[in-house]
Structure 1
Amino acid sequence: MSEPQYLETAQGRRLAYHRTGGEGPMVVFLGGLKSDMEGTKALYLEDWARAQGRAFLRFDYSGHGQSSGVFEEGSIADWHEDTLAAVEALTEGPLVVVGSSMGGWQALLLARAMPARVAGLVTIAAAPDFTEDGYWAGFSDAQKAEIEAGRNVELPSDYMEPYVVTRKMIEDGLRHLVLRAPLDLPFPVRMLQGTADTAVSVATAVALLEHATSPDMRLLLVKDADHRFSDDTCLQLIERAVEDVST
């Protein structure tokens, strides 16, 4: 395994990344909450990009993987700043952005911030607005009281250790919602979603499909695929989706 390079951001964060040279549009992978750039999907796409002679970038948000920071101190805005910093410093020209889970929300924020740079978008179990529509909406009165008092709430996960939810994450997420105002995606979009996903529902995927505007936006439901979306069949579907929005 090669050692990552590091980017120092204007906010004083140190982001670990791997960048592969090649032709464009450059593929940028945005990982999920508490995931890192060493995940199956990121590495599969990197290998695919290298074989195709395509430029590719994967990186860790602050508080994730090999980057600086503590996860519990981060928020949607912090990770959006990290994404913008990585894109501005490490890429040029048009991009194909691939966002997984929380990375799907980050991909939509990136597209909203710099639509002219995005040539195509692929989401995998995208989780836009999950801090509000998932966490906060599902909290009991007692859990909401804990958050409002500045204490953390732990939520079990079917896929990893419990998620730690902070007041900062809830309040910051509320300021970065993408499903409450018009969301124009002026490029091809491919959305991939498993029907057995217990972290992100099919209803969330349908809500995003119905809410956004795009000249070419399609949702593919994969029966019995879970949130990892990382078996051989799912990885090949991701590859084909990237190829589809790259043409």
Structure 2
Amino acid sequence: MSSIQFLSRLFSPRLAYRRISAQNPGVVFLSGYNSNMNGEKALALEAFCCSAGHSFIRFDYTGCGSSEGNFEDCLLGDWKNDVLTVLDNLTTGPQILVGSSMGGWLMLLVSLARPEKVAGMVGIATAADYFVSALRQLPPELRKEAEVKGQYKISSKYSATGDYTMKYAFVKEAEEHCLLQSSIPISCPMRLLHGMKDDVVPWQNSVRVAEQLESDDVDIILRKNGDHRLSQPDDLKLLVTVIDDLMKKLTKKDQK
């Protein structure tokens, strides 16, 4: 396992990260909401990249895991800036971004901001626009209550308490980063994995992402019995296989 390090920034909390320096294309893993860099997918990808001789980075967003900062103060735009900071300061050459849930949303935003740094992308239960659409689907009285109280709860079996408290300000800021209402000008290869038993982000969300992407090199892989996390052994094997295939494709393209 790579050793933990910290990326210092002027006027911003330090970001905790683990890195393997090897050949490109490297892989940068983006975790989901209220998650950290020590999940099963991140560890499986690090082990694969280590054995395959490719660079790899996993890190914690501000206020998450081992990074500094207060989680409650963070907005989606802050975490987008974290990813950009990691790409700009810790990577050389184009990377494959692997985004899980909210990390898939951030992956798309970062690819738009740094297209020259992104060779390909793999989304896992990609949650583009999810927080905003989830709020809009609430009954009017609950939306009004969330606005007045400044927060609301969404149920989740992945939370120790059975739900997450979402800040209304977080979701309103996230509206500035919505992507699915128009074409997404991303042209690199994209692979989208999604579990059909995902009870958080519907698998149709990945289909919508694929429809909006300008890239023609987009594949959707649905796991009939897969849940939101897609962290079962067979799910992880599939993830590694997809990334290995994408790496080989990108390497072959660079050699032409």
Q: How does 1:127-138 map to 2 (within 5 A)?
A: 127-134=127-134, 136-138=135-137
Q: What does residue 238 of structure 1 align with?
A: 239
Please state how far the C-alpha of 1:8 moved relative to its aligned partner. 2.0
Unaligned runs of 5+ in 1: none
Instruction: Provide TM-score, normalisation by structure 1.
Output: 0.95
Compare 42-51 and 158-167 and name the one that shifted more: 158-167
One-letter amino acid of the structure 2 residue matched with residue 137 of structure 1: R
CA distance 1:199–1:2, change in 2 (3 Å): same
Aligned-pair distance for 1:178?
Answer: 1.3
SS of residue paired to 1:175: helix
User: CA separation in 2, counterparts of 1:118 and 1:174?
Assistant: 24
Assess, with a 3 A threshold, how the Cα gap between structure 1 residues 181 and 228 changes in structure 2: closer, same or farther.
same
How far off its partner does 1:179 sit?
A: 1.1
Code of the aligned partner of 2:144: A
Q: Quick check: 1:218 aligned with 2:249?
A: no
Deviations 1:149-192 (A, max 9, x none): 35221222022232121122111110011112321221111100
Amino acid at match of 2:49: A
RMSD over aligned Cα atoms:
1.4
SS at match of 1:149: helix
Residue of structure 1 in register with 2:56 after alignment: 56
**What count of residue pairs does the alignment treat as equivalent?**
246
- Distance in 1 separating the partners of 2:125 and 2:11: 29
What's 2:252 paired with?
A: none
* Deviation of the 1:213 alpha carbon: 1.4
Aligned to 2:254: none
Structure 2 segments unaligned to the other structure (5+ residues): 250-256
Task: Map 1:121-200; keep pairs closer than 5 Å.
Answer: 121-134=121-134, 136-149=135-148, 151-161=150-160, 162-200=163-201
The structural deviation recorded for 1:17 is: 0.3
Give 1:3 deviation, angstroms: 4.8
Between the aligned partners of 1:174 and 1:236, the Cα distance in structure 2 is 35
Matched residue SS, 1:14: strand
> Taking structure 2 as the reference length, what is the TM-score of the superposition?
0.92
- Aligned-partner Cα distance in 2 for 1:72–1:139: 22
Task: Report sequence identity in percent.
Answer: 36
